[in-house]
Structure formats: C-alpha cells, structure tokens
C-alpha cells in the first residue's frame, strides 16, 4: 500500500522500488554470509515483503490519469530516504530470513 502526496498509488512505482531495493540488498547480504549455498533472487525477497509507504514527492509523474503507478525517477524525488542500519537489522531479525529459507 502506498501513497504519494496523499494519492493512493495502488500499483506502487519507483518510490516503492527505492525502499524495497534497500531492504533486498540488506537481506541478500545477510543470506550470502549465513547461507552461502542458497541461491535467492531479489524478486523472491520482494514477494516476501509488505510495504506501507506514504511519501511526499516534488512534481510527481504517474503512468496514467488514474495515478496508479509513480514513474518519477528517484533522482527527481526532491529528497532521499536512506533506511538506517538499525531499521534494516530489525527487518532482518523479524523472521524474513527463515521465511525465505523455507521457501527456497
């Protein structure tokens, strides 16, 4: 579930990918350290996530008039959102690693 400038973007978009990519990178790093023989793709991790995002984007661009998907590139957001290391550690310790291992 995501919102851009109080507009519900039901299909997500570049803002969701921006946050998800940070989480996926951290989870893949953790998996590669602890389970070297496990080959997991980023899409598998993304399918294991539920993201709830509410953001403010300067001059957002959408794919259509219904504004279901944000198409603005992350360089043009007007700000950044780098997830803290402590937040990413909480995600890794939430049980997502075990869910991915069980799925794989």
pTM for the model? 0.90
CA dihedral 89, 24, 68, 74 (to 10 degrees): 90
Range of the domain at 89: 2-103
Radius of gyration of the chain measured on its C-alpha atoms = 15
CB 76 within 8 A of CB 60: no
CATH value at residue 84: 3.30.230.10
* Cα–Cα distance for residue pair 84/104, rounded to 1 Å: 27
Structural domains of the chain, count: 1
pLDDT at residue 3, rounded to an integer = 97
Could you report the average pLDDT of every consecutive run of 10 residues in the chain (104 residues)? 96 96 95 86 92 95 96 95 96 90 84
pLDDT at residue 34, rounded to an integer = 84
CB 27 within 8 A of CB 91: yes
pLDDT at residue 4, rounded to an integer = 97
């Amino acid at each position: 579930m995501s919102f851009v400038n109080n507009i519900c973007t039901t299909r997500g978009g570049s803002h969701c990918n921006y946050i998800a990519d940070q989480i996926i990178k951290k989870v893949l790093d953790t998996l590669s350290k602890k389970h070297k023989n496990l080959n997991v793709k980023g899409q598998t991790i993304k399918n294991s996530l539920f993201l709830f995002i509410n953001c403010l984007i300067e001059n957002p661009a959408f794919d259509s008039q219904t504004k279901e998907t944000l198409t603005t590139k992350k360089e043009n957001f007007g700000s950044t959102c780098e997830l803290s290391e402590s937040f990413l550690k909480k995600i890794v310790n939430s049980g997502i690693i075990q869910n991915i291992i069980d799925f794989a």
